[in-house]
Structure 1
Amino acid sequence: MERAFLEISQVVVRFGKAAAPVLNGVDLKVARGEYISVIGHSGCGKSTLLNVVAGLLPASLGGVLLEGTEVDEPGPDRAVVFQNHSLLPWLTVYENVRLAVDRTSGRAMSRAERDEWTRENLALVRMTDHLQKRPNEISGGMKQRVGIARAIAMRPKVLLLDEPFGALDALTRAHLQDQVMDIHTRLGTTVMMITHDVDEAVLLSDRIVMMTNGPNATIGEVLEVDLPRPRDRLSLASDPRFLSAREAVLRFLHERHALPKVA
Structure 2
Amino acid sequence: MAYLKLDHVDKTFTRGTTTTEVLKDINLSIAKGEYVSIIGHSGCGKSTMLNIVAGLTTATTGGVLLEEREVNSPGPDRAVVFQNHSLLPWLTVYENVRLGVDKVFSKTKTRAERDAWTLHNLNLVQMTHAKDKRPNEISGGMKQRVGIARALAMEPKVLLLDEPFGALDALTRAHLQDSVMALHQKLGNTILMITHDVDEAVLLSDRIVMMTNGPSARIGEVLDVALPRPRKRLDLATNATYVKCRQRVLEFLYERHRFVEAA
TM-score (ref. length: structure 1): 0.97
Deviation at 1:6, TM superposition (A): 0.3
Match of 2:213 in 1: 213
- The alignment status of 1:141 with 2:141, answered yes or no, reads yes
Give the gaps of 5 or more residues in structure 1.
none
Match of 1:71 in 2: 71
- The alignment status of 1:11 with 2:9, answered yes or no, reads yes
Deviation at 1:262, TM superposition (A): 7.7
- The alignment status of 1:253 with 2:256, answered yes or no, reads no
Deviation at 1:157, TM superposition (A): 0.2
Deviation at 1:114, TM superposition (A): 1.0
The answer to whether the Cα contact below 8 Å between 1:209 and 1:219 also exists between their aligned partners in 2 is: yes
Match of 2:158 in 1: 158
Match of 1:122 in 2: 122
Matches within 5 A, 1:147-186: 147-186=147-186
Deviation at 1:107, TM superposition (A): 1.2
Between the aligned partners of 1:100 and 1:153, the Cα distance in structure 2 is: 7
Deviation at 1:109, TM superposition (A): 1.1
Deviations 1:4-29 (A, max 9, x none): 10010110000015444100000000
Between the aligned partners of 1:28 and 1:231, the Cα distance in structure 2 is: 25
Deviation at 1:261, TM superposition (A): 2.2
Summarize the Cα distance change of 1:148–1:259 in structure 2 as closer, same or farther, 3 Å threshold: farther
Match of 1:23 in 2: 23
Match of 1:235 in 2: 235
Matched positions, count = 261
Match of 1:54 in 2: 54
The answer to whether the Cα contact below 8 Å between 2:56 and 2:74 also exists between their aligned partners in 1 is: yes
Identity of aligned residues (%): 67
Deviation at 1:258, TM superposition (A): 3.2
Q: Which amino acid aligns with 2:2?
A: A
Deviations 1:184-212 (A, max 9, x none): 11111100000000000000000000000
The answer to whether the Cα contact below 8 Å between 1:41 and 1:259 also exists between their aligned partners in 2 is: no
Deviations 1:20-50 (A, max 9, x none): 4100000000000000000000010000000
Structural RMSD (CA): 1.2
Deviation at 1:260, TM superposition (A): 2.3
Deviation at 1:259, TM superposition (A): 5.9
Match of 1:225 in 2: 225
Between the aligned partners of 1:63 and 1:210, the Cα distance in structure 2 is: 20
Greater CA deviation, 199-208 or 12-21? Answer: 12-21
The answer to whether the Cα contact below 8 Å between 2:213 and 2:256 also exists between their aligned partners in 1 is: no
Deviations 1:228-256 (A, max 9, x none): 11110001111111000000100100024
Q: Which amino acid aligns with 1:15?
A: F
Q: What secondary structure does 2:13 align onto?
A: coil
Matches within 5 A, 1:35-50: 35-50=35-50
Give the gaps of 5 or more residues in structure 2.
none
